[in-house]
Chains A and B, each alone.
Chain A
């Protein structure tokens, strides 16, 4: 049996729907959720005689993405035709970019960017019948509303090593795109889609192994699970002494099954050639200036600001800058309570993030004001950490005012010897053996006593204060 350790090498291809007013090559408004085939025209239906005209706003967004990842922006780039037949592709070719893309190179958080280019989205196919796919369906219908939506395709170099890292990096990319305002980056609705190229190699080896391509995963969880499953599949193949086959794969998140879509031999010959209907895209200084002026604060800059100006710890700074909505929520809470220490507020923002579904805490019943008030109550000693966590649970469930919840639930901190001393005394009396050991200078059992007190006070006591009272009760000074 081999004892070789394998490492994964992962590259990502991300398709982002750009939120321009109109489609990539025609003047139809973008369509989401409208009646089928109501956002169409001769161009996006591929009617005879129609011609594409490139959307200037999509080019502007493409430049902003390129700037955000430090790409080289081509002064002249060209569109190509990618030819293949499919009912969701009305012209029989997709207009995309090939060997002269808008943006080349770049880097985001240590992951190198290969290129960023513009293209048009396909229409949506709906298959009737059990198979759910075109082969074996009873009938298939096409909704062209989505057809022609502008896409930016972002391709990374194979710089990622694990499913978790890929997931984390994708969240950063998503945050970056959201901050740029170029897309609503909604994975569930398909405005952000991801393919992963995965290969394994023995640790220490520099040559890449045979890769497979995992297609079209539309949630962070599926991406991480899919990559994990594919790494495990490849590792099992290699450990059995077999070879990985180069192919395109589909991951079914319900069954965790990975199935082949097509092998390398079945790969299309797309017959790329320069799109004769579109002149080259030439980037002027005015276009660059406009893109530069539109650049917002990006996650890296925000992280640096959180570190430098707010003195947050590294973990908080990264969390709040890589997760755009959480960071925005944090900043809103800070504005509501400028006197609360930033790190404390950051800690409570992290607590909140762990309790809400989805990425945006603003979608929960908790308001930034409520989170700020809660952190203020803790800072003032009006509620303990434990009590505050209970208040937060209530806030996430039904919203409300933290002070009122503390009041209603009786979660106010139990403070002072008057209130706590009887509880401590009772705890010591209930555990005479532990009291004896403590008296003898063995402080280990103090934790148990504190636990009993916490239980009695439902977490409203402060641990340090309990320790002090124990010591004075036992005459330890």
Chain B
């Protein structure tokens, strides 16, 4: 569907304020089809809010989000569902449904969209679990019985189960040990490549960003202050990016004490 050169996702002038607190102040971002974009930025800069605007979970105050050239801001009901059916999301905390077993979590979207019956969806769920390195014995467990890393894998499986062509990853490695984080990074790269999907990840973990990204963009004070290929990040010449990737306390970025 996407014409040559037309970005898969085009975000323009995205504004969002919560009460008096303005979080997004004109975000512009293009993500090409099949590209893996990583947005970096400090905690509380609105990375999650940006993704939630794309999913229609948060209504932006102003701005436009074109998906395959079609406006998605303001879509409701069936039209929104149709757009979301092509998107998968890995939430920051996993957001697994704790009253459902692992396979029911993974199969949830398939059954809800009417693509599969419960009976048909189970083998698909088990297969998807295998893709993220989990055996069939995990399928019957409840999310609370799993370690943090396994929960992330299940959440990843749920995000890719419906074979979406756009996937969002919200801080996929936060809260994991470095080795498990790297395993998750590898899985993300593999899954995205296998699906041929467009990926938008957000993170403040630079190791993860370097591994996942084709391109990186930096969000600061509600705007994208730099974007470029992952290879260029060390020579960006941008003082915000330099401070962030080297994790220095001093520099142009002032951390708000309250996020």
Partners in one complex: no
Query: A interface vs B, CB < 8 Å?
Result: none
Query: B interface vs A, CB < 8 Å?
Result: none
